[in-house]
Amino acid sequence: MEESNKKANLNTVFETENLNLWYGSEHALKNINLNIESKNITAIIGPSGCGKSTFLKTLNRMVDLVTGVRVEGKINFHGVNIYDDKTNLVELRSAVGMVFQKPNPFPKSVFENVAFGPRIHGVRKKEELQEIVEKSLKRAALWDEVKDRLNDSALGLSGGQQQRLCIARCLAVQPEVILMDEPTSALDPISTLKVEELIQELKRDYSIIIVTHNMQQAARVSDKTAFFLTGDVIEYDDTTTIFSNPRDKRTEDYITGRFG
């Protein structure tokens, strides 16, 4: 028993304990207790306004940037509570990177977008930066498409390319976890497929938590799925179980499109 608990802990990247969050008087997350597995893809699903993005943003404390927000409970990242006063937010946010719904490259060159984070972290040598940029773009399955236009503006890339560039920018600071907030909702079906393939490829080395409105996407890419409803986690299980044999009627109603 003890041995299997230890194993479970080794495989856990985040463990939330009685996590509650309020925006002013609005109780947006209610007593969330979730163990998120390492080097796995976890999907967060649920209808609009149920707290998916809020939950995601608690994991790297981006939610602290909202005025009037109050968090109670714990989020252990490898066993250490990130809501402890001693947490170094710069370190936390490079370990736990984030990719947003709309691709948001900086109005700079492709190269400078990816080199930005490493520069901030003190990498100065040109060759070292070049190496990081190439490696990150290759890892984000974008290198072949941009290797001859590294000095062109990132804003000239297609939406799908911009999103993979944002993933490369995130990888360049060597995160351990990547949070993705509806990363394909602004993309066409082919770009969506490319990003989904990339996400699956990245799980060998990273823990990925993805918010999605797209049931097929959650079913296609994730290993675990959490179903949120009005700030509660209704059900959390293997993705195959959630989509084939959910325990809760509300999960079943949601995944079969009866509401949401």
Taking the least distance from each CB to ligand ATP, the nearer of 29 and 142 is 29
The residue within the footprint of ligand ATP, chosen from 52, 139, 164, 194 (CB under 6 A), is 52
Pairing of β 12-23 and β 80-81: unpaired
Q: Is residue 83 close enough to count as binding ligand ATP by CB under 6 A? A: no
Q: How far apart are CA 48 and CA 72, in angstroms?
A: 23
Taking the least distance from each CB to ligand ATP, the nearer of 47 and 159 is 47
Pairing of β 224-229 and β 41-45: parallel
Q: Is 61 left (phi over 0), alpha (psi -120 to 50) or beta?
A: left
What is residue 182's DSSP assignment? S
How many residues does the structure list for the chain? Answer: 260
Q: Is residue 150 close enough to count as binding ligand ATP by CB under 6 A? A: no
Q: Is residue 5 close enough to count as binding ligand ATP by CB under 6 A? A: no
CB of residue 44 to ligand ATP, shortest distance in Å: 8
**What are the angstrom distances between the C-alpha of 1 and each of 5, 7, 8, 144, 246?**
6, 10, 11, 49, 27
Task: Kindly indicate which of the ranges 41-49, 111-119, 146-154, 189-197 contains the residues binding ligand ATP, using the contact rule CB under 6 A.
Answer: 41-49
Q: Is residue 66 close enough to count as binding ligand ATP by CB under 6 A? A: yes
Q: Is residue 22 close enough to count as binding ligand ATP by CB under 6 A? A: no
Q: Is residue 183 close enough to count as binding ligand ATP by CB under 6 A? A: no
- The residues binding ligand ATP (CB under 6 A) are 23, 26, 28, 46, 48-54, 66
